[in-house]
Amino acid sequence: MEADYVVIGAGSAGCAVTYRLVEAGKSVLVIEHGGSDWGPFINMPAALSYPMGMKRYDWGYVTEPEPHMNNRVMACPRGKVVGGSSSINGMIYVRGHAKDFDTWAEMGADGWSYADVLPYFKRAETWHGDAGDPAYRGSSGPVHITRGARKNPLYQAFIEAGAEAGYGKTDDYNGHRQEGFGAFEMTVWKGKRWSAASAYLKPALKKPNCDMVRGMVEKIEIEEGRATGVRLTDGRLIRARAEVVLCAGAINSPKILMLSGIGPAKHLTDKDIPVVADRPGVGQNLQDHLEMYIQYSASKPVSIAPYWSLWGKALVGAQWLFTKTGLGATNNFESCGFIRSKAGVQYPDIQYHFLPIAVRYDGKTPPGGHGFQAHTGPMRSPSRGEVTLRSKDATEAPRIQFNYMSHEQDWQDFRRAIRLTREIFATGPMSEFVDHEIQPGDDAQTDEALDAAIREHAESAYHPCGTARMGRRDDPMAVVDPDTRVIGVEGLRLADSSIFPLIPNGNLNAPSIMVGEKAADAILDRKLPAENLEPWIAPQWETAQRESEAETLAAE
The pLDDT value given to residue 406:
98
Once rounded to an integer, what is the mean pLDDT over residues 93-117? 98
Once rounded to an integer, what is the mean pLDDT over residues 222-231? 98
Q: Is the pLDDT of residue 554 over 70?
A: no
Instruction: Report CA-CA distances (Å) from 439 to 30, 306, 375, 458, 461.
Output: 44, 20, 11, 10, 17
In a domain, 540, yes or no: no
Catalytic residues: 463
In a domain, 250, yes or no: yes
- Is pTM beyond 0.85? Reply is yes
Query: How many structural domains does the chain have?
Result: 1
Question: In which band, very low, low, confident or very high, does the pLDDT at 309 lie, cut at 50, 70 and 90?
Answer: confident
Q: Are 377 and 291 in contact (CB under 8 A)?
A: yes
In a domain, 532, yes or no: no
The pLDDT value given to residue 294:
97
Q: How far apart are CA 366 and CA 107, in angstroms?
A: 44
Q: Is the pLDDT of residue 75 over 70?
A: yes
Q: Is the pLDDT of residue 550 over 90?
A: no
Question: What helix, strand, coil percent values describe the chain, rounded to 5?
Answer: 30, 25, 45
pLDDT digits (tens, 9 = 90+) for 473-516: 999 999 999 999 999 999 999 999 999 999 999 999 999 999 99
Question: In which band, very low, low, confident or very high, does the pLDDT at 179 lie, cut at 50, 70 and 90?
Answer: very high
Residue 184: helix, strand or coil by DSSP? coil
Once rounded to an integer, what is the mean pLDDT over residues 345-361? 94
The pLDDT value given to residue 369:
84
For 433, what's the count of Cα atoms within 13 Å in the CB-facing half-sphere? 25
Q: What is the mean pLDDT of the chain?
A: 96
Helix residue spans in 324-365 (DSSP H): none
Question: In which band, very low, low, confident or very high, does the pLDDT at 360 lie, cut at 50, 70 and 90?
Answer: confident
Query: In terms of residue numbers, what domain contains 462?
Result: 2-523
In a domain, 14, yes or no: yes
User: Dmax of the chain from CA atoms?
Assistant: 74
Nearest to 484 by CA among 445, 515, 512, 451: 515
pLDDT digits (tens, 9 = 90+) for 458-469: 999 999 999 999
Once rounded to an integer, what is the mean pLDDT over residues 521-545? 97
- The string of DSSP codes covering 78-113 is -B-BTTGGGGTS--B-----HHHHHHHHHTT-TT-S
Question: In which band, very low, low, confident or very high, does the pLDDT at 549 lie, cut at 50, 70 and 90?
Answer: confident
Question: In which band, very low, low, confident or very high, does the pLDDT at 53 lie, cut at 50, 70 and 90?
Answer: confident
Across 30-44, 249-263, 352-366, least confident range: 352-366
**Percent of the chain at pLDDT exceeding 90:** 95
Virtual torsion, Cα 209, 213, 218, 220, nearest 10 deg: 0
Q: How far apart are CA 40 and CA 318, in angstroms?
A: 11
In a domain, 485, yes or no: yes
Q: What is the CATH number of the domain that holds 231?
A: 3.50.50.60
Q: Which residue has the higher pLDDT, 540 or 550?
A: 540
Q: Per DSSP, what are the bridge partners of residue 353?
A: 336, 375
The pLDDT value given to residue 480:
98
The pLDDT value given to residue 308:
87
pLDDT digits (tens, 9 = 90+) for 118-130: 999 999 999 999 8
In a domain, 135, yes or no: yes
Sequence-separated (6 or more) residues with CB below 8 Å from residue 453? 292, 418, 439, 440, 441, 444
Virtual torsion, Cα 68, 74, 78, 81, nearest 10 deg: 180
In a domain, 115, yes or no: yes
**Percent of the chain at pLDDT exceeding 70:** 98
Question: In which band, very low, low, confident or very high, does the pLDDT at 361 lie, cut at 50, 70 and 90?
Answer: low
Q: How far apart are CA 401 and CA 464, in angstroms?
A: 11
pLDDT digits (tens, 9 = 90+) for 406-464: 999 999 999 999 999 999 999 999 999 999 999 999 999 999 999 999 999 999 999 99
Sequence-separated (6 or more) residues with CB below 8 Å from residue 534? none
Once rounded to an integer, what is the mean pLDDT over residues 224-252? 98
pLDDT digits (tens, 9 = 90+) for 369-406: 899 999 999 999 999 999 999 999 999 999 999 999 99
Q: Is the pLDDT of residue 552 over 80?
A: no
Q: Per DSSP, what are the bridge partners of residue 240?
A: 3
Q: Per DSSP, what are the bridge partners of residue 66?
A: 72
In a domain, 446, yes or no: yes
